[in-house]
Amino acid sequence: MLVDGVPTRTVWWAGDGVVGMINQPLLPHRFERVEMATWRHTASAIQTMVVRGAGAIGATGALGMAQAAVAADEAYFFEQVAEAANGLRATRPTAQNLFYGIDTVLKAIQGEGDHIGRAREAAVAAAVAVCDDDAECCRRIGELGAPLLKDRRRVNTHCNAGWLAFVDWGSALSPIYRAHRDGVGLFVYVDETRPRQQGSQLTAWELGQEGVPHAIIADNATGHYLKEGAIDIVIVGSDRIAANGDVANKIGTYTSALAARAAGVPFYVAAPTTTIAAHTASGADIPIEERDDDEVLYVWGWSDDGRFIRVRTAPAGSRAKNPAFDVTPAALISGIITEKRIIPASPAGIRSVAR
């Protein structure tokens, strides 16, 4: 995707055991690339959401494993690699892609037996392949999903499931980018997505870079626009898809799905098949990450005098609850756009594409 006209990826292998990524909390006001020197730095970047989004943290987890393999002492190679895997897994509990990325590199390492040198090379090759696969899957999601927008040009999306949430292209935004580049006149209603405001800070920035017409709306305005007939289709991403078709995504997705159903508007989920957790029977089995209540009680932003500051918006004595995700039941989902095809949100549909 493009940043000021320059093709850019979200995360990448920078060589010499270093992982590069975009510093997302600074967006949309400042674009900055940062480098993580060790797997522990990379794990911290995932946990603090310097990098976030299902595919992006999956790729970053894979790259963190490559870092660990490159840096591990030969005498303690497998112990140190296992320590890195456990540390990276602990950063975010909900997103399936993270575990997929870690396990893919682990399998590549284990496939080399006791040949440590080859194991290091295999780890890097597998991590880079996870990144490339994520980008290609998202490109295909765009191609397969774009026809849905031919006659449904007023689109709503929640949170950020664009290229910043993956290595490139994105999931929910990929059909929008493909259709826009093909000349389809679209307008996107961007949910602000409290409490971290990934919609207003990241999705709106991405759409602006691509020149896609859009407007940011408060999360609680989505139902209004659906009811008034201003929205033709809703497309969201996913952090984990259960075997029965239930979908975990950013908190507030379930509310949008209910409103879309009431308004008779199609509600689609876009995700690569790496997001499917075949071992997770239903949404009830998906762990929901509970984040720090400060994310609800405070907001970060740029002051008029150019300072990036935190401001408390709630009473000093108040506490908050902050679930990062919710689960949308399969019955509310019109279809899941994968890189293979659009499938029904059902056990049979999931089985037909699961890796």
d(CA 142, CA 169): 8
Question: How many other CB atoms are found less than 10 A from the CB of residue 80?
Answer: 17
Structure token pair of residue 261: 């159903």
Closest by CA to 141, choosing from 167, 118, 115, is 167
239 is catalytic: yes
d(CA 295, CA 317): 15
φ, ψ of residue 191 in degrees (nearest 5): -65, 135
Q: Tell me, what's the pLDDT at 306?
A: 86
Q: What is the dihedral of CA 335, 338, 343, 348, to 10 degrees?
A: -120
Strand partners, 337: 270, 342
Any alpha helices (H) in the chain, and if so which ranges?
A: 39-47, 54-71, 77-89, 96-110, 116-145, 174-181, 198, 204-210, 222-227, 253-263, 294-297, 347-353
> Which CATH class for the 141-353 domain?
alpha beta
Q: Report whether 334 contacts 267 (CB < 8 A).
A: yes
Q: Tell me, what's the pLDDT at 4?
A: 86
- pLDDT tens for the chain, 355 residues long, are 889 888 999 999 999 999 999 999 999 989 999 999 999 999 999 999 999 999 999 999 999 999 999 999 999 999 999 999 999 999 999 989 999 999 999 999 999 999 999 999 999 999 999 999 999 999 999 999 999 999 999 999 999 999 999 999 999 999 999 999 999 999 999 999 999 999 999 999 999 999 999 999 999 999 999 999 999 999 999 999 999 999 999 999 999 999 999 999 999 999 999 999 999 999 999 999 999 999 999 998 889 998 889 999 999 999 999 999 999 999 999 999 999 999 999 999 999 999 8
2-139, CATH topology level: Four Helix Bundle (Hemerythrin (Met), subunit A) (1.20.120)
Boundaries of every domain in the chain:
2-139, 141-353
> Any idea what the Cα angle at residue 85 is, between residues 83 and 90, rounded to 5°?
100
Q: Tell me, what's the pLDDT at 2?
A: 85
**pTM for the full predicted model:** 0.95
**Which one of 191, 232, 239, 246 is the catalytic residue?**
239
d(CA 202, CA 31): 11
